[in-house]
Amino acid sequence: MTLVVLQVIVQSIASTLQWLGFYVGIRALPGDKSRRWRWIVGSALVFAAWLIGVTVLASADFFQPPRIPVALTTTLAAGYVVLLSPTFRAVIAGIPQHWLIGIQTFRILGGVFLIRYFNGELPALFAVPAGVGDVLTGILAPLVAYWWFVGKPYARKAAIAWNVFGMADLINAVALGALTGGGGGGIVFPIVLIPIYAVPRLLLIHSYSLIGLLRKTSRQPQPSESLHYGTQLA
């Protein structure tokens, strides 16, 4: 019961923070206020329905192993298809890059895989690479976000490399999880929320971050916005 509550709380907080970043991007949209409000309300409903719907279905054991990859790929496909919308692309471009990066700090919680490995609950083949990859991604997230925010000259390259590493870790974890049958103990609720909800959401955030970095639509903060501005003036 404790694991269920913890998993739902973590996913709810992460989803809310993701929506807040989306909200900032919507606020940056040009045009009349009513247009922005439609996007704000609509996106809030979509985020809430997505989380609640997935949680309810998962608790009813709807996502048995054959349906897990379908749910994951369907979510990813939907997240990439909406990029065909110019308005959606404008919203993504308006989300601060350091927000897209920093939100992945939650990945530190992947260290639970290592804990379960040391307790003999998960095989090393799955737990070690998945746990280490998540922890490294989460630890580096605030550092890379900080570099971007203060305008370090190497921030863009560092952010690109970090995103590629984070995406590779997620793909590797999913592949190893499939090979070991869910890390050796099967995939049941609430753990199933990780591959069907958390993983595709995090992969999309990485993708949106990379798009902004590679297409240079993510603007680095100007010197007056930097934390180092006062020091530079002095």
Per-residue pLDDT tens over the stretch 129-144: 999 999 999 999 999 9
Residue boundaries of the structural domains of the chain: 2-233
Are 105 and 230 in contact by the 8 Å Cβ rule? The answer is no
> The tokens 């996502």 sit on which residue?
63
Q: At what angle do helices 2-27 and 33-59 cross, to 10 degrees?
A: 160
- Global pTM reads 0.91
Q: What single DSSP character describes residue 121? A: S
DSSP 151-164: T-TTHHHHHHHHHH
Asked if 227 and 150 touch (Cβ cutoff 8 Å), the reply is yes
215 C-beta neighbours (distance < 10 Å), count: 10
Taken as a whole, the chain contains a residue count of 234
Position 183 pLDDT exceeds 60: no
Average pLDDT rounded to a whole number, residues 63-88: 93
Helices (H), ranges, 32-154 = 33-59, 68-81, 86-94, 97-102, 112-118, 124-149
Check if the beta carbon of residue 199 is closer than 8 Å to that of residue 71. Answer: no
Give the pLDDT of residue 229: 36
pLDDT tens digit string along 31-46? 899 999 999 999 999 9
- pLDDT of 207 > 50? The answer is yes
- State the average pLDDT for the chain: 89
Structural contact between residues 183 and 123, judged by C-beta atoms closer than 8 angstroms: yes
d(CA 130, CA 199): 12
Please tell me the predicted confidence (pLDDT) of residue 217: 82
* Number of C-beta neighbours around residue 135 at 10 A: 19
- Average pLDDT (101-107) is 96
Asked if residue 25 lies in contact with residue 103, where contact means CB atoms within 8 angstroms, the answer is no
- Beta strands (DSSP E) in the chain are none
And the tokens for 99?
């927000």
Name the one residue in this structure whose structure tokens are 């609640």.
52
pLDDT of residue 182: 64
Task: Record the tokens describing residue 6, joined without a space.
Answer: 């913890």
Judged against a pLDDT cut of 60, whether residue 184 lies above it is answered with no
Give the model's confidence band at 227: pLDDT under 50 very low, under 70 low, under 90 confident, else very high.
very low
Is the dihedral angle over the CA atoms 163, 42, 88, 216 positive or is it negative?
A: negative
pLDDT (mean) for 188-194 = 86
Please tell me the predicted confidence (pLDDT) of residue 180: 81
